[in-house]
Amino acid sequence: MEEVYPLKQIIDDHGNLVDKSSKSLITRELVQKAYYHMYRIRTFDKKAKSLQRQGRIGTYPPFEGQEAAQVGSALALEENDWLFPTYRDHGAMLTFGADMTRTFLYWNGRLEGCQPPEGKHIFPAAVPIATQILHAVGASWAEKRKGTKNIAIAYFGDGATSEGDFHEGLNFASVFQTPTILFNQNNGYAISVPFERQMNSKTVAQKGIAYEIPSIRVDGNDFFAVYFAMQEATRRARTGGGPTLIEAVTWRTGAHTTADDPTKYRPDGIGKDIVDPLLRLERMMKNEGYWDEEFIQSTRERIEEEIDDAVKAMESYPKAKPEDMFDHVFAELPEQLVKQKESYLQLLRGE
């Protein structure tokens, strides 16, 4: 199946343009936009890991290594589209317009972190595996029934393809030809389980065959390969062509979360030969004459200032109230949870 679904690539590890047909599609504006967003979410990710290690936010799932996949996919969306992320896709959320302070607040346990900016269709990060696929298919079906051109994207990892929700979502999307992008980030591991133990299939892309869904497999560390594949998929979705399954082959550089130790399950040296997607973009910028030192420095300074301001704003909020966990799931709290909440509040009062 790797022959049927070859890895699409625009630039190689050294930043060389290997798909010459794409040269006319690459503009200075697109290159600089890619760099801005990839550097921005990389810097956010590093800051979040540092904050967690200092005890200033809770357990955090790093996405370092997946910047090209997240930025390349999110930049291809339009203002009124829907984005359904996993717990590792806050890079895509930020690129699509999520507020940075609220994103930090999410990882600090505050309800405000689940609220998107006014008018943005960004769902809270889905921690249960694959549930967001059904949500995305449903939202895109609603848009189709309303007669709009809006689409939905569902992000998920390779482990999600083992869930029933994945297959139910693909089947529904296929039957009703919903305008859905099913965006898989195959980052090598489903927590501690390597790809080859997660499935016997050689690719995720081939799973679209059973549902008659067009599928493509791209180099997920190549911003341009992801972006142009997404553009094609979104055009198809907006013009009645139905869903697309995209497998972006990437790499999770660090741990599954800050509570995880990947040395327990990853062999020594694995992944060391994978070129960082931001470095690959920087090499391309230098090779193709897009490198602008003034732009680079001003971009970095602006982003670092934005992140410092967002952290200060996040820490200006009162600490999250643990009792909030009881109040925002059910319209009417079941009796069992009413008793649990009362017991908890009594404990707080020292009764």
Note the pLDDT of residue 129.
96
Give the pLDDT of the chain (351 residues) as one tens digit per residue. Answer: 677 799 999 999 999 999 999 999 999 999 999 999 999 999 999 999 999 999 999 999 999 999 999 999 999 999 999 999 999 999 999 999 999 999 999 999 998 999 999 999 999 999 999 999 999 999 999 999 999 999 999 999 999 999 999 999 999 999 999 999 999 999 999 999 999 998 999 999 999 999 999 999 999 999 999 999 999 999 999 999 999 999 999 999 999 999 999 999 999 889 899 999 999 999 999 999 999 999 999 999 999 999 999 999 999 999 888 888 888 788 999 999 999 999 999 988 887
Catalytic residues: 252, 256, 265
Domain ranges in the chain with CATH number 3.40.50.970:
20-320
The verdict on pTM exceeding 0.85 is yes
| CATH T-level assignment (fold) for domain 20-320 | Rossmann fold (3.40.50)
What is the 3-state secondary structure of the chain?
CCCCCCCECCECCCCCECCHHHHHHCCHHHHHHHHHHHHHHHHHHHHHHHHHHCCCCCCCCCCCCCHHHHHHHHCCCCCCCEEECECCCHHHHHHHCCCHHHHHHHHCCCHHHHCCCCCCEECCCECCCCHHHHHHHHHHHHHHHHCCCCCEEEEEEHHHHHCHHHHHHHHHHHHCCCCEEEEEEECCEECCEEHHHHCCCCCCHHHHHHHCCCEEEEECCCHHHHHHHHHHHHHHHHCCCCCEEEEEECCCCCCCCCCCCHHHCCCCCCCCCCCCHHHHHHHHHHHCCCCCHHHHHHHHHHHHHHHHHHHHHHHCCCCCCHHHHHCCCCCCCCHHHHHHHHHHHHHHHCC
